[in-house]
Amino acid sequence: MEKEERTSRSNFIKDIIDEDIKNNKNEGRVVTRFPPEPNGYLHIGHAKSICINFGLAKQYAGRCHLRMDDTNPEKEEMEYIESIINDVRWLGFDWGENLYYASDYFEQLYQWGLLLIRKGLAYVCDMTPEEVSATRGTPSVPGTESPGRTRSVEENLDLFERMRAGEFPDGSRTLRARINMASPNMNLRDPVLYRIKRAEHQRTGNDWCIYPMYDFAHGQSDYIEGITHSICTLEFEAHRPLYDWFLDHLAEQGRVRPRQIEFARLSMTYTVMSKRKLLELVASKFVDGWDDPRMPTISGLRRRGYTPESIRDFAERIGVAKADNIVDVALLEHCLREDLNKRAPRFMAVLDPLKVVIENYPEGKTEELEAVNNPEDEGMGSRTMPFSRVIYIERDDFREEAPPKFFRLAPGKEVRLKFAYYVKCTAVEKDATGEIAEIRCAYDPATRGGWSEDGRKVKGTIHWVSAEHSIGVTARLYDYLFTDPDPEDAAGEGDFTRFLNKDSLMILDECRAEPSLAGVRPGDRFQLERIGYFCVDPDSQEGKPVLNRTVTLKDTKGKN
């Protein structure tokens, strides 16, 4: 019920679309798109955009295209394209037949370059990229006009065709729009439309040695695909007049023209979000690849154990706004806990084992005790856990000298072993170094299942595994990747990597888990009682699972 309400919540983008539908604009059709540049893996910010665009298409019974904005051959790779397709699908969205590539429009864009020249609206400029930027002026000082601006249409056509034919060296010429070198909007100061760049493109190979600039490709790609609502982040607001200028001169009468709507990009605490910075973390091996479970990438979140449902819920809760803000990562974790609490089966494992010998329990005896799989969902049933004379508990659940509020195990104190028995500590054994080697307990056979027949209560309940039956597992515990909630802001002009958290990964190799975990596979998610939600990592070996802690059971501000 709550979910339903959330997904139907209104926002300013929906208001605009409602208004367009009311006016029967585009015959009431809604066509959106998600247009990533395949120069890195998608992150949680992209997930917000994906949820908005695909969500609107769904709500208005329209469609949403997935389009690779692949106009920059040097930074783009097939690996990124594949990861994008995989990630959008994993998030639960479907573009049907509508997968497109801006590179499929290269010929059309080139023809539009020629058309602008013929209309006297574009010219070939002989300045170097440095000269072009040096002559752009500043917002308050007009730029200087390029000498190429006065070339004849014929000369421009000839030069542009020869640019395409490969007659000129890289960077020696550009095609520029003839708009206004004094415009207060810098984007309108004769922007570059095409540059010469001999670079192999992952889809068009060596067919082209000139490539359109992003700004000359983006709006027209929307137009070619019949996008009705082109939703993008705020930094493109000042580009909108340029996109409109192109379509004013290139679009055909009566065809759908995209309406651009800008919203605030997602920023989140304790992380960085730009692909360039994420690439830096990968390239310099601060993290173990784009899908490192500490990364804010969709593939990292997936490997960490996030569910698509929790990410969609998060996107819905943060909503869309016009003002930049920074969302607390605790909200994302909250959405995840809420989802996993309902769905994740429970198991027991001990991360830091302390041996416990139950002296009055018969040697060689094993009992199978019933354990509930999920107290939130009876339908998930139960399993059995073997119990025997020697068990492991968490080292931290025992104190030789217990402080007043310590309700777990201590000499002379009684505690409940979940689903098993009450045990009382009778002795502590130490090794030569004074470290506690094992503890001795007595159990009460009349408390089978963890409940006392005489109504005697204990304050503490701890988890355990049978030593002989347990299996070895590795646990990876994570903390935030950065020590500062806003590392980019904290770094200012300096290096944001200064704020990387050196303790963001803790590996525990000696953990013991109940035998039911022997059969888990990479991607499986569950709760380890009292320790957190976990997900099986692809690094797992046969018989030795590697478990990523997805999130702790309560908000601990990222701490292991």
Residues that bind ligand ATP (CB under 6 A): 35-37, 45-46, 48-49, 232-233, 265-266, 273-275
- Strand partners for 505: 478
Residue 343: enclosing H or E segment and its boundaries? helix 329-343
Measured CA to CA, the distance from residue 296 to residue 300 in angstroms comes to 6
Angle at 129 between CA 125 and CA 131, to 5 degrees: 75
Residue 154, SS3 per DSSP: helix
Residue 118: what residue type?
R
- Contacts with Mg ion in 27-86 (CB under 5 A)? 37
Residue from 63, 275, 416, 440 carrying the catalytic annotation: 275
φ/ψ of residue 392, rounded to 5: -115, 140
Residue 233 binding partner per list Mg ion, ligand ATP, none, with a CB distance cut-off of 5 to 8 Å that depends on partner kind: ligand ATP
Report strand pairing: 266-268 vs 325-327: parallel
Could you tell me the smallest distance in angstroms from the CB atom of residue 316 to ligand ATP?
14
Residue 345, SS3 per DSSP: coil
Question: Closest CB to ligand ATP among 66 and 409?
Answer: 66
Measured CA to CA, the distance from residue 320 to residue 266 in angstroms comes to 9
| 405: Cβ contacts below 8 Å, ≥ 6 apart | none
Question: Closest CB to ligand ATP among 105 and 421?
Answer: 105
The single residue listed with the structure tokens 């702790």 is: 552
Measured CA to CA, the distance from residue 121 to residue 178 in angstroms comes to 5
Residue 191 binding partner per list ligand ATP, Mg ion, none, with a CB distance cut-off of 5 to 8 Å that depends on partner kind: none
Could you tell me the smallest distance in angstroms from the CB atom of residue 72 to ligand ATP?
10
Residue 234, SS3 per DSSP: helix
CA-based radius of gyration for the chain: 31
Residue 266 binding partner per list ligand ATP, Mg ion, none, with a CB distance cut-off of 5 to 8 Å that depends on partner kind: ligand ATP
Measured CA to CA, the distance from residue 45 to residue 65 in angstroms comes to 18
Question: Closest CB to Mg ion among 227 and 473?
Answer: 227
Residue 349 binding partner per list ligand ATP, Mg ion, none, with a CB distance cut-off of 5 to 8 Å that depends on partner kind: none
Q: What is the DSSP letter of 473?
A: E
Residue 265 binding partner per list ligand ATP, Mg ion, none, with a CB distance cut-off of 5 to 8 Å that depends on partner kind: ligand ATP
Measured CA to CA, the distance from residue 229 to residue 31 in angstroms comes to 6
Could you tell me the smallest distance in angstroms from the CB atom of residue 72 to Mg ion?
9
Measured CA to CA, the distance from residue 321 to residue 32 in angstroms comes to 18
Question: Closest CB to ligand ATP among 37 and 87?
Answer: 37
Residue 193: enclosing H or E segment and its boundaries? strand 192-196
Tell me if residue 343 is catalytic: no
Burial-class residue 494 by CB neighbours within 10 Å (0-12, 13-18, 19+): exposed
Could you tell me the smallest distance in angstroms from the CB atom of residue 265 to ligand ATP?
4
Could you tell me the smallest distance in angstroms from the CB atom of residue 204 to Mg ion?
20
Whether the Cβ atoms of residue 273 and residue 47 lie closer than 8 Å to each other: no
Could you tell me the smallest distance in angstroms from the CB atom of residue 216 to ligand ATP?
15
Tell me if residue 542 is catalytic: no
Question: Closest CB to Mg ion among 235 and 400?
Answer: 235
Question: Closest CB to ligand ATP among 16 and 471?
Answer: 16
Whether the Cβ atoms of residue 502 and residue 526 lie closer than 8 Å to each other: no
Cβ-closest residue to ligand ATP?
A: 45
Could you tell me the smallest distance in angstroms from the CB atom of residue 190 to ligand ATP?
24
Question: Closest CB to ligand ATP among 37 and 292?
Answer: 37
Could you tell me the smallest distance in angstroms from the CB atom of residue 323 to Mg ion?
21
392: region left, alpha or beta (phi > 0 left; psi from -120 to 50 alpha): beta
b/e 376-388 (16+ beta carbons within 10 angstroms → b): eeeebeebebbbb
Cα dist. 277→108, 265, 499 in Å? 33, 16, 13
Question: Closest CB to Mg ion among 20 and 69?
Answer: 69
Tell me if residue 275 is catalytic: yes
Whether the Cβ atoms of residue 51 and residue 308 lie closer than 8 Å to each other: no
Residue 164: enclosing H or E segment and its boundaries? helix 153-165
Could you tell me the smallest distance in angstroms from the CB atom of residue 253 to Mg ion?
31
Residue 410 binding partner per list ligand ATP, Mg ion, none, with a CB distance cut-off of 5 to 8 Å that depends on partner kind: none
Question: Closest Cα to residue 515, out of 466, 454, 560, 482?
Answer: 466
Question: Closest CB to ligand ATP among 160 and 211?
Answer: 211
Residue from 33, 37, 302, 346 carrying the catalytic annotation: 37
Could you tell me the smallest distance in angstroms from the CB atom of residue 327 to ligand ATP?
10
Residue from 29, 58, 265, 277 carrying the catalytic annotation: 265
Residue 364, SS3 per DSSP: coil
Residue 49 binding partner per list Mg ion, ligand ATP, none, with a CB distance cut-off of 5 to 8 Å that depends on partner kind: ligand ATP
Residue 35 binding partner per list Mg ion, ligand ATP, none, with a CB distance cut-off of 5 to 8 Å that depends on partner kind: ligand ATP
Q: How many CB atoms are located within 10 Å of the residue 149 CB?
A: 13
Question: Closest CB to Mg ion among 100 and 421?
Answer: 100
Residue 259 binding partner per list ligand ATP, Mg ion, none, with a CB distance cut-off of 5 to 8 Å that depends on partner kind: none
Residue 274 binding partner per list Mg ion, ligand ATP, none, with a CB distance cut-off of 5 to 8 Å that depends on partner kind: ligand ATP
Which residues have a catalytic role annotated?
A: 37, 265, 275
Q: Which residues are at the interface with Mg ion (CB under 5 A)? A: 37
